Structure 1
Amino acid sequence: MFVLTLTQRYAGSHGDRVDELLAALAPHPTAHPFRRSWGDEAIGAVSNPDAAVAAALVALRQGGKEGRRFSVGIGVGPVTVAPDGSLVGQGPARSRRAVERCSRQAIPLGVEAGPAGVAFEGMPSAPESAAAAEAVLRLLGDLVARRSEAEWAVIDLLIPGVRGQQREVASALGISVQAVSQALARAGWSREWEARPAAALLLGLAAFAVE
């Protein structure tokens, strides 16, 4: 299981934006839906690494170029639902450590998957896979957070993996096909979707070693 703890940064100057984050995350599949845990923090859990990557990037998108609005901690490990509905166990505890560790980073994302784990000859340990996943996700997060509103206007109309969409997007936005192509190039759209599987693979390796 992959638990994500999402803590708002600069809440005093930007106001409470947790509800906006929860609305952005609502369409994404979860094992335990994202909800406000307390104050300016939200927590949720997903069962597969692709969903963890998607949710992390949604959180890092918030705030855009004006600043990374949320810190993201991903904890790899088991989850139990307490009687009060809160998430407890190694997954949430690791997620908490990750978000606290990364909160002052330029790209505030951390992944924790240890120290407990199973060693397999010739394979990285859970902490090693988590560290590698963190590095890839920070690169992706930097790409996502740098995008302008105009670039997101184009991207939000695209379906990943479907070819031949640029003419329809251009028509919907009232811009040229060339402008759509240029926006996607600046935004690194294709690079993001080429790199997402690498991040998911590394998260999956971390989960394999700890569960």
Structure 2
Amino acid sequence: MCGEDGEMFVLTINQRDSRESGDRVEELLDLLSELPTLVPFQRSIGDEAIGVVQSAHVAVEVALAAIRERRWHIGIGVGPVNPPSTTTQLESSAQLADQSINDAEGFGLVYARRAVNRAQRSTERIPLAVEGPDGEAAAQAEAVLRLIAQIVFTRTEAEWSVLDLLVPGVRGQQKAIASALGISTQAVSKAIARSFWNEEWACRPAAARLLDLVSGPESLEPAGVPYNPRGV
């Protein structure tokens, strides 16, 4: 889902535990490499990665994939991103795919920086924040995303061994999964119920819909500060 005004979703993700477990950015980039992006996820500075997507659904998927790893702060910024000295939106979109994120500019990056900085300062269990022109919509999107993320965050490895074999929206998978894992269909059913997998996927579209609203009306003023990739 891409917003009516062509807004973009910038995800700035930095590591929480680099001192204890070392730099894991390359692992994150591998994890996200198959997802559709406007600007592929890439290292920005230090133990941080940034990417740009056009779909709110993909933004939700990226955020939850990072949450599953339990080692990332996630900031989502909603707003435009352009390469420097771009004269048209068409040229901008064509150039962004090959752009170094550190050379890009735009309010989407400003909002993502604000969001990840706030996620870093948060004492909440789920270090995720959303920022954009419509602050109320951003707060609502953040609340729903964090609730879904709480479900993802608390799953066990045994539950993930089942869930990773499931395809959303496809019926009759439990017998095949049970056979593949060497467990009973009842155990598969219990793992699905216990992990709230169906509830997660039912809520994902709501989170994406709220993210699409964060750009606000065209008359809403953008962020009033320049982008600083180091967040200082």
1:11 to 18, 23, 29: 18
Corresponding residue number in structure 1 for 2:100: 85
1:69 to 68, 71, 76: 71
RMSD between aligned alpha carbons? Answer: 1.5
Matches within 5 A, 1:138-177: 138-177=146-185
CA distance in 2 between partners of 1:139 and 1:29 (Å)? 24
Corresponding residue number in structure 2 for 1:60: 67
Local SS of the residue matching 2:215: helix
Residue 49 (str. 1) matches residue 56 (str. 2): yes
Local SS of the residue matching 2:155: coil
> What's the TM-score once normalised by structure 1's chain length?
0.88
Query: Where in structure 1 are there 5+ consecutive unaligned residues?
Result: 63-67, 115-125
Q: For each residue in 1:19-59, what CA deviation from the matched residue of structure 2 results, as whole angstroms up to 9, or x when unmatched?
A: 11111111211111101111100000110110100000001
CA distance in 2 between partners of 1:4 and 1:208 (Å)? 18
> What's the TM-score once normalised by structure 2's chain length?
0.81
Aligned-pair CA distance for 1:14: 1.6
- The structure whose residues are more often strand, as a share, is 1
Amino acid at match of 1:78: P
Q: For each residue in 1:169-201, what CA deviation from the matched residue of structure 2 results, as whole angstroms up to 9, or x when unmatched?
A: 111111111111111111110110011011001
1:205 to 213, 217, 221: 213
1:31 to 20, 25, 38: 38
**Among the aligned pairs, what percent are the same residue?**
55
- Judge which range, 78-87 or 189-198, deviates more: 78-87
Residue 110 (str. 1) matches residue 129 (str. 2): yes
Amino acid at match of 2:117: E
Instruction: Describe the shift of the 1:78–1:14 C-alpha distance in structure 2 as closer, same or farther (beyond 3 A).
Output: same
Amino acid at match of 1:99: V
CA distance in 1 between partners of 2:68 and 2:158 (Å)? 14
Aligned-pair CA distance for 1:207: 2.8
CA distance in 2 between partners of 1:71 and 1:209 (Å)? 28
Query: Where in structure 2 are there 5+ consecutive unaligned residues?
Result: 1-7, 86-98, 221-232
Residue 136 (str. 1) matches residue 144 (str. 2): yes
Local SS of the residue matching 2:199: helix
Corresponding residue number in structure 1 for 2:224: none
CA distance in 2 between partners of 1:82 and 1:160 (Å)? 40
Amino acid at match of 2:167: I
Residue 20 (str. 1) matches residue 27 (str. 2): yes
Local SS of the residue matching 1:44: strand
Local SS of the residue matching 1:100: helix
